[in-house]
Amino acid sequence: MNEPDFIAALRALPLHPGARGLMDDSAVIAFGTETLVITHDMMAEGTHFRADADMADVAWKLVATNLSDLAAKGAEPVGVLLGHMLGRDDARFIEGLRAALTAFDTPLLGGDTIAAAGARALGLTAIGRATHVPVPSRSGAQPGDGVWITGPVGRAMLGFEGSSEHRAAFDRPVPRLAEGRALAPLVSAMMDVSDGLLLDAFRMAEASGVTLALDLAAVPVADPAQFEKCIRWGDDYEVLFTAPPAAALPVAVHRIGTVAPRGPAPLLLGDTALADPASLGYRHG
C-alpha cells in the first residue's frame, strides 16, 4: 500500500476518540484531571537522514520533531520513549540525545533497543501535558480569523543546501514549545510547519473546512530570491495558527493571511486558488 491508502485503512480500525480521526499531529487523551498529548514519529536512514549524517544531529532531530508536535498543542513535555536500532556512531547518537533532552528539559522514560540488519529506523514517542484545554487542533479555523506564523520559512532548506548560517536550522531545529504554550489559549487552530508552509496550510484549511487566503508578500522567508522554494520546503518547525483578528498575541508573530469561508479551493494565494496538494510540498531527503 502507499501511505495515503495505509492511513485510510488505519482510519477504519477501532480509533480512540483522542486520535482525532488520525487527522492531527498528536493524540489528546483526558486522563483523570489532566489531559495527555502524545505523538510518535519515526526517522529512517536513506529517507529522513543520510547514511553519512552525524548521528548526534539525527538524535536531536528525532527529539525535536516530536516535541514540535507537542508545541503545536501547547503541551509541556513530560518525557520520551526511544525505539532504537543499534548501528554506527551510537555514542554520537547518545550525545545528541543528551543535548536535546537537556535543551528541552525533557527526561527519558524508556523504550526499546534492538539489533537488526539493513537501513536503520528510529522511533520516538513524546508525551506531554496539556497546558490549556481544549487542546488546539488543526480543525478550528473560523472565517474571519487571521493567519499567523511564528517565524520565517526556508531556513532549514538553506541549511540543507550548504548555508553555514542556516546549517543549525536543518540539523538541530528548535521546537516552538514556549510559543505554543503562550498561544494555545488564544488560537482557533494550530499546527507545526513540518512539511512546508503551503502543504501544511492546505491541511489546516482542509481539516477546518475553510479557505486560507494567504498574502504572499507578508510571508517571512529566509531568502526572498528563493521565495517559491521557501514556502514549499519543510523542516522549519515554525508554528502556523489562526486566531480572532483582535487577539492580543503574546509572542512576536507574522500575520500572513485571513481565514475565508470555504471557496473553490482550500488555499488562496493572492488570486490563485490551489486545490491540488500535490504541487504544494517540496520532496526532500
CA distances from residue 100 to 55, 56, 60, 236, 254 in whole angstroms, order as listed = 12, 9, 5, 17, 27
- CA-based end-to-end distance of the chain: 21
Closest contact distance (angstroms) between CB of 113 and its own copies is 5
What 3-state DSSP class applies to 78?
A: strand
- Burial (0-12, 13-18, 19+ Cβ within 10 Å), 129: middle
Asked if 18 is part of the footprint of its own copies (rule: CB under 8 A), the reply reads yes
**In the beta sheet, which residues pair with residue 123?**
42, 83
Residues for the chain: how many in total? 285
Asked if 7 is part of the footprint of its own copies (rule: CB under 8 A), the reply reads yes
Distance CA 283, CA 199 (A): 11
Asked if 275 is part of the footprint of its own copies (rule: CB under 8 A), the reply reads no
Per CB under 8 A, the list member of 50, 86, 178, 261 interacting with its own copies is: 86
Nearest residue (CB) to its own copies, 103 versus 251:
103
Distance CA 52, CA 170 (A): 15
Asked if 133 is part of the footprint of its own copies (rule: CB under 8 A), the reply reads no
Q: Which of residues 107-126 bind its own copies (CB under 8 A)?
A: 107-121, 123, 125
Query: x/- site string to its own copies, residues 46 to 85, per CB under 8 A?
Result: xxx-----------------------------xx-xxxxx
Chain residues in the site for its own copies (CB under 8 A) = 1-3, 5-7, 9-10, 13-16, 18-19, 22, 24, 26-27, 29, 31-34, 36, 38-48, 78-79, 81-86, 90-91, 94, 97-98, 101-102, 106-121, 123, 125, 127, 129
